[in-house]
DNA sequence: TGCATTTAATTGGTCAGGCCAGTTGACCAG
DNA sequence: CTGGTCAACTGGCCTGACCAATTAAATGCA
């Protein structure tokens, strides 16, 4: 039960303390906070640290900083847990499983309502993907465009957003570092072929085929990754993120 | 009408510049930014100013600062509602459709791997729901617990999170106001019955039945809502959010 | 040669002190 | 009472420095 220690950065701690003061009502809405220099003294930190903490609160919309005048409380509670500093929490394996379940269903749905312009969107992404197998970032962007493009065929903004967010979860430094060990033209080409299979099934209105193709694609992605994963990291746990078994994510 | 003058603070300008670099792809996702000292020189500002700008981007979730290592691009575009009070963007109808597609697939999957303790979790949520039909907030919490509980049966943290986030999207002020017009013991009772049907299908391992029951539930939710929606708002467009036709979300 | 350890360079985190510019309110001349 | 000036305060920004975490090169050992 030790506190996770965590060694949080100082300005975060300072921001938390001020946040608590505001939430508890100790600092009423509309009231002016103590001057930066006074806050620094009260919190036993330097003024730059206080400034950084206040900027955090300002971005969160809790306070309003008026130069020359002071800092004023705007509202009591952070509007929402934007949770931008939240870690992925989930491991790569869980992420791929979730994508398999969700994106299969989306592909199935898309096959039932595919229109020419939607298919054209997929084709455009495929073309960009095949044209830049040597440019990692370009291929990655095209990969993302393909997956969100399927959601776009359904014409549902929520699906597009959710699909994109799940894709982006592998953009963390941790995943990126792992990916750099195995991403290459060959794996991208395999992924591209699987993409084409999905595209064709959707274009043909074959719901079951699209679902199966998407499942195959994500399963193969996992396989591709876990193979090179085993080479580079023989079972070691690199960081604390991946809870259970740490398999991998791969090109999708 | 007078120019707001604004005299933007330097660290805001610096943050904007870096933001543009990221959005334009000049700094790819996963890539490391130049060191703070280099950025300071490139932007012709001091290091503290660069730090403040980076903290803004970190709070917005665009970059990930790792001490001793560097600053890494997490995503290309200011995540959902970087300004936390951002609007839902998607309309209630789209949200329900997305939930129907995604949660049906999850329910289907859950039916294939249901264990006693998972079912117990659903039962507990159902009990809380039936026991508090007159307490809106309690029932809402139980409703949420039921839906995330299905994802929990699959044992996938990503699915739990996504399900929860989609549920929470109706907690915006806009949706809450609409909901207050029709939420009541009767509608909650109907939703409860549908929940029980889903629960039974999952407990029986009936994948197709669970999928169908979930689809029915979300369809009925939409129907319940759009009925009372028609009474209160005779065709008027309330706000700019809902893209196409503005149907509604209801108890799920 | 191959591997583990140590060392040094790099990078973010924090601090101290200082100067500038905008804001505010008291004070004084009209 | 009105208007203007001025000084105290407050945030904005800078220089320069040191510490701590990370990373990669250099080193020592087997």
Burial of B141 (0-12, 13-18, 19+ CB in 10 A): middle
Helix (H, G, I), strand (E, B), or coil: what is residue B146? helix
Q: Give strand ranges (E) for chain B.
A: 63-66, 70-73
Q: Which nucleotide is nearest to B35 (CA to C1')?
A: C11
Alpha carbon distance B38, B118 (integer Å): 53
Cβ distance of B81 and A80 shorter than 8 Å:
yes
A47-59 and B47-59 are packed helices; what angle lies between their axes, rounded to 10 degrees?
30
* Strand D reaches within 7 A of the A59 CB: no
Alpha carbon distance A42, A25 (integer Å): 18
Confidence band of A137 (pLDDT split at 50, 70, 90):
low
List beta partners, residue A70: A66
Alpha carbon distance B125, B141 (integer Å): 9
Contacts 24+ apart (CB under 8 A), B223-229: B223/B250, B224/B182, B224/B187, B224/B190, B224/B191, B224/B250, B224/B251, B225/B92, B225/B178, B225/B182, B225/B249, B225/B250, B227/B182, B228/B181, B228/B182, B229/B178, B229/B181, B229/B182
For the domain made up of A10-73, give the CATH fold.
Answer: Arc Repressor Mutant, subunit A (1.10.10)
Alpha-carbon separation of residue A106 from A141, A176, A212, B112, B149 (angstroms): 20, 26, 12, 20, 22
Contact call for residues A72 and A107 (beta carbons, < 8 A): no
Contact call for residues A166 and B162 (beta carbons, < 8 A): yes
Contact call for residues A159 and B101 (beta carbons, < 8 A): yes
**Is B229 a residue whose pLDDT tops 70?**
no
Name which CATH class applies to B92-232: mainly alpha
Of B169 and A41, more confident = A41
Confidence band of A111 (pLDDT split at 50, 70, 90):
very high
Name the residue among B228, B144, B243 with its Cα closest to residue B187. Answer: B228
Helix (H, G, I), strand (E, B), or coil: what is residue A114? coil
- Tell me what pLDDT residue A83 has: 38
Instruction: Tell whether A165 is within 8 A of chain B (Cβ).
Output: yes
Tell me the shortest Cα–Cα distance from A148 to chain B, in angstroms. Answer: 13
Segment 9-48 of chain A within 8 Å of chain B by CB: 9, 11, 48
Burial of A132 (0-12, 13-18, 19+ CB in 10 A): middle
Contact call for residues B88 and B132 (beta carbons, < 8 A): no
Q: How far is CA A168 from the centre of its chain?
A: 4
Q: Which nucleotide is nearest to B40 (CA to C1')?
A: D14
> pTM here?
0.61
- Tell me what pLDDT residue A68 has: 84
Compute the average pLDDT of residues B1-28: 72
Most confident of the ranges A68-82, B20-34, B71-85: B20-34
**Interface probe, candidates B13, B46, B47, B157, chain A, greatest A C-beta count within 10 A:** B157
Residue environment code for B159-171, b if the CB has 16+ CB neighbours within 10 A, otherwise e: bbbbbeebbebbe
Alpha carbon distance A127, A122 (integer Å): 9
Q: Which nucleotide is nearest to B7 (CA to C1')?
A: C22
- Tell me what pLDDT residue A247 has: 35
**Is B145 a residue whose pLDDT tops 80?**
yes
Name the residue among B96, A242, A219, A23 with its Cα closest to residue A233. Answer: A242
Backbone angles phi, psi at B136, to 5 degrees: -55, -45
Of A243 and A251, more confident = A251
Cβ distance of B66 and A173 shorter than 8 Å:
yes
Output the distance from A46 CA to D17 C1' rounded to whole Å: 14
**Is B185 a residue whose pLDDT tops 70?**
no
DSSP code at position A237: -
Confidence band of B80 (pLDDT split at 50, 70, 90):
very low
Tell me the shortest Cα–Cα distance from B151 to chain A, in angstroms. Answer: 10
Alpha-carbon separation of residue B135 from A170, B130, B146, B185, B252 (angstroms): 40, 10, 17, 9, 16
Alpha-carbon separation of residue B26 from A79, A101, B23, B33, B51 (angstroms): 32, 34, 8, 10, 20
Confidence band of A241 (pLDDT split at 50, 70, 90):
very low
Rg (C-alpha) for chain A, rounded Å, is 24
Q: How many Cβ atoms sit within 10 Å of the Cβ of residue A64? A: 15
Which residues in chain B are contacts of A60 at CB distance < 8 A? Answer: 59, 84
Q: How many Cβ atoms sit within 10 Å of the Cβ of residue B175? A: 19
Output the distance from A177 CA to D25 C1' rounded to whole Å: 20
Instruction: Tell whether A208 is within 8 A of chain B (Cβ).
Output: no
Contact call for residues B146 and B127 (beta carbons, < 8 A): no
Backbone angles phi, psi at A58, to 5 degrees: -70, -45
Domain-wise residue ranges, chain B: 10-73, 92-232
Of A83 and B206, more confident = B206
**Is B91 a residue whose pLDDT tops 70?**
no
Alpha carbon distance A103, A147 (integer Å): 8
Q: Please give the angle made by the CA atoms of B73, B78 and B82, to the nearest 5 degrees.
A: 125
pLDDT tens per residue, range A217-240: 998 887 776 655 444 433 333 333
Cβ distance of B55 and A162 shorter than 8 Å:
no
- Range with the poorest average pLDDT among A222-236, B123-137, B210-224: A222-236
Q: Please give the angle made by the CA atoms of B131, B135 and B137, to the nearest 5 degrees.
A: 110
Alpha carbon distance A119, A123 (integer Å): 6
**Please, which residues have CB within 8 angstroms of residue B16's CB and are 6 or more apart in sequence?**
none
ipTM score of complex: 0.57
B5: Cα within 13 Å, side-chain hemisphere:
1
């Amino acid at each position: 039960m030790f506190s996770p220690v965590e060694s949080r950065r100082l300005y975060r701690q300072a921001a938390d303390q001020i946040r608590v003061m505001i939430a508890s009502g100790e600092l009423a809405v509309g009231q002016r906070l103590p001057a930066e220099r006074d806050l620094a003294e009260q919190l036993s930190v330097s003024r730059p640290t206080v400034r950084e903490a206040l900027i955090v609160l300002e971005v969160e919309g809790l306070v309003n900083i008026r130069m020359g005048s002071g800092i004023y409380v705007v509202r009591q509670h952070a509007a929402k847990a934007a949770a931008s500093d939240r870690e992925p929490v989930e491991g790569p394996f869980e992420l791929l499983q979730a994508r398999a379940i969700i994106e299969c269903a989306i592909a199935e749905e898309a096959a039932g309502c595919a229109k020419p312009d939607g298919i054209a969107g997929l084709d455009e992404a495929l073309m960009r993907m095949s044209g830049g197998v040597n440019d990692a970032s370009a291929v990655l962007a095209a990969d993302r465009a393909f997956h969100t493009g399927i959601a776009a065929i359904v014409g549902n903004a929520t699906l597009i957003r959710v699909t994109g967010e799940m894709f982006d979860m592998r953009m963390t430094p941790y995943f990126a570092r792992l990916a750099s060990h195995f991403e290459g033209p060959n794996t991208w080409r395999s992924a591209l072929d699987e993409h084409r299979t999905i595209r064709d099934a959707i274009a043909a209105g074959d719901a079951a085929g699209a679902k199966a193709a998407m499942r195959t694609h994500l399963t193969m992605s996992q396989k591709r990754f876990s193979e090179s994963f085993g080479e580079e990291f023989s079972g070691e746990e690199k960081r604390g993120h991946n809870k259970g078994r740490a398999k991998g994510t791969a090109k999708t």
